[in-house]
Structure 1
Amino acid sequence: MAIQTRVTESSIHTRVLANLQRNISRGQQIQDQLSSGKQINRPSDSPTGTVSSLQLRGETRALQQYSRNADDGIGWLSTLDSTLSSSTTLINRARDLTVQGLSSGTNDTQSNEALAVEIDNIRQSLIGYSNTKYLNRPVFGGTTSGADAFDATGAYIGDTGQVARTVGNGVKVRVDVTGPEAFGSGTTQLFTVLQGIADSIRSGDSTALSDGLKNLDSAADLVKNTLSDVGARYNRVAQTKQSAEDRLLAVTSQLSDVEDVDLPKTIMEMQLQQTSYQAALAASAKVIQPSLIDFLR
């Protein structure tokens, strides 16, 4: 014998109101998504989506920082590149003057003095180049906190520390060059060599001038090799920056898939929800009678 379940007016009212409340809650959720443009407005909306969103946002911040680091590194390396290129031009001019000074038979004292003075000026210009700054830091000074890498006499006053930038996951690139690495040290330092050449031209010492020319060629080769190394590092940083930006676009797209709403689909769901709610209200009006008189009828 089947047991008949008695359905009371109270149970009908409770269930109808509960269903209407669920309908309203669903409509509110869709409205929240439309107004914010996001599928996830709180972790409870999608726990797995929240985890994915946090991971993707963390990767996005890391990639953005790598890109900023690369921009800073490119600034350092561009400054080094332009400075060393200008230095090479001056060194070539100094070499031409040195070769001219070796022709002592055709040069008088006044001509030699003019050659020496120009070499002195080139030396001072190169010392100025060696103190080139990027963001108020000497690019040839290592990690020094001082304002200059070389003093007025051409002596190195920086340190041997290295400046590096992290431009990728586990990718760190050096973005500086110390003064001795670019201009030499000791008796073969570029500024010392130029001073010796100027003195030899003034004194007419062709042997010392010939040795000075050899040292100048060695110093010029060091500057050129340094310039080549800077160019290689520049290319590496630029390529790594491009890779970071490409990856950032991909991560941004993935994050949009996780967080952002499909606007046409959500608008359609909203319209269906409104239609469903209106239909539920109409049906509830026939089930829940507002008065005792309507119930008795």
Structure 2
Amino acid sequence: MIGGGRVTEGSIHTRVLANLQRNLAKGAQIQDQLSSGKQINRPSDSPAGTVSALQLRAEARTSEQYSRNADDGLGWLGTLEDTLSSASTLVNRARDLTVQGLNTSTNGTQANEALALEIDQAREALVGYANTRYLDRPVFGGNTADPEAYDRTTGAYTGNTYDPNNVATTSVSRTVGSGVKVRVDMTGPEAFGDDTTGLFKVLSNISASIRAGDNTKLQSDLQDLDKSGNKLKSAISEIGSRYNRITQMKESAQDRLLSVTTQLSDIEDIDLPKTIMDMQLQQTSYQAALAAGAKVIQPSLIDFLR
């Protein structure tokens, strides 16, 4: 015959205290979750969840950086677009003046001088547009470190030349997606032409032809001005397409960030109503454990001998 195991007062006390301790530990864990609003407060709470959360946080930081890069790129391209639009309006005005200068039968010397002077002022204003800066960098200077892209006196280009075969070192780009880089600058020659046949040289020629009353030369200059105007319009179109590309990539990065944030919340954040209910149940369980312990731990012989 096998007798039952001996249960002592000490073993009862130990088991009751251990059960109460586990109950308190569970309550403390729920309290931590309610206080922080997070299911995971330390890696030991959920090792697998911690790994997933770290990966999602890294992806969120990447998406945020893409969005910031896109904002900077849009700043560059917006400045370019506004400047080129203003320059195109001024070129149209210069064309009107050139056509007016062809009317030698009605223009006098003083009138031609006034027209030439206004052409000179338009050229000066366009050189100022070509030296437009964004964040203290000339947007038409390529990746130059100089403060200006054009010499204000001569109108000569002083910035860096764009090389399509060496984009990384001859242009300004922004990374707006995984493996996606978009160029955000435009060199002066791409928009205004070179120093020998470009817009500024054409306007100088027009001014000289008007003063000289040379209609034959002025007619040729007008054709050159139209070519420069078309080049300017093509540049505006290209900038617009890049702007749209970056805008789309920014929206994609923001959508991805929203998705990652939602996934991260599912892993880390608590279900508040459920956690409050768990806390109430845990408090009830603890109170029941205390009551049960009080009944199990009966007075001992030592208590009667006192």
**C-alpha displacement of 1:189:** 1.0
Q: Distance in 2 between matches of 1:3 and 1:212?
A: 120
**C-alpha displacement of 1:7:** 2.0
Name the structure 2 match of 1:39: 39
Instruction: Give SS of 2:196's match.
Output: helix
Instruction: Give SS of 2:105's match.
Output: helix
Instruction: Give SS of 1:172's match.
Output: strand
Equivalenced residues, count:
296
Name the structure 2 match of 1:267: 276
Instruction: Give SS of 1:167's match.
Output: strand
AA matched with 1:99: V
Identity %: 70
Name the structure 1 match of 2:148: 148
Name the structure 2 match of 1:50: 50
After TM superposition, the structure 1 = structure 2 runs for residues 1-297 of structure 1, keeping only pairs within 5 Å, are: 1-2=1-2, 4-152=4-152, 153-160=154-161, 161-289=170-298, 292-294=301-303
Q: Give the alignment's TM-score, normalised by structure 1.
A: 0.96
Q: Distance in 2 between matches of 1:285 and 1:97?
A: 105
Residues 64 and 257 of structure 2 are in contact (CA less than 8 Å); yes or no, is this contact kept in structure 1? yes
**C-alpha displacement of 1:97:** 1.1
Residues 290 and 197 of structure 1: is their aligned pair in 2 closer, same or farther, counting only changes over 3 Å?
farther
Instruction: Give SS of 1:186's match.
Output: coil
AA matched with 1:236: R
Q: Which runs of 5+ in 1 are unaligned?
A: none
Q: Give the alignment's TM-score, normalised by structure 2.
A: 0.93
RMSD: 1.4
AA matched with 2:156: A
Cα deviation digits, residues 194-217 of structure 1 (max 9, x gap): 001101111122222122111111
Cα deviation digits, residues 6-57 of structure 1 (max 9, x gap): 2222222221111111111100000000000000000000001101100111
Residues 120 and 195 of structure 1 are in contact (CA less than 8 Å); yes or no, is this contact kept in structure 2? yes
Residues 157 and 195 of structure 2 are in contact (CA less than 8 Å); yes or no, is this contact kept in structure 1? no
Q: Which runs of 5+ in 2 are unaligned?
A: 162-169
Cα deviation digits, residues 87-136 of structure 1 (max 9, x gap): 00110111111111122222221111111001000000000100111111
AA matched with 1:250: S
Return structure 1 stretches of 4+ with deviation > 4 angstroms: 293-296
Cα deviation digits, residues 127-149 of structure 1 (max 9, x gap): 01001111111111111111111
Residues 127 and 150 of structure 2 are in contact (CA less than 8 Å); yes or no, is this contact kept in structure 1? yes
Residues 289 and 295 of structure 1 are in contact (CA less than 8 Å); yes or no, is this contact kept in structure 2? no
Residues 149 and 158 of structure 1 are in contact (CA less than 8 Å); yes or no, is this contact kept in structure 2? yes
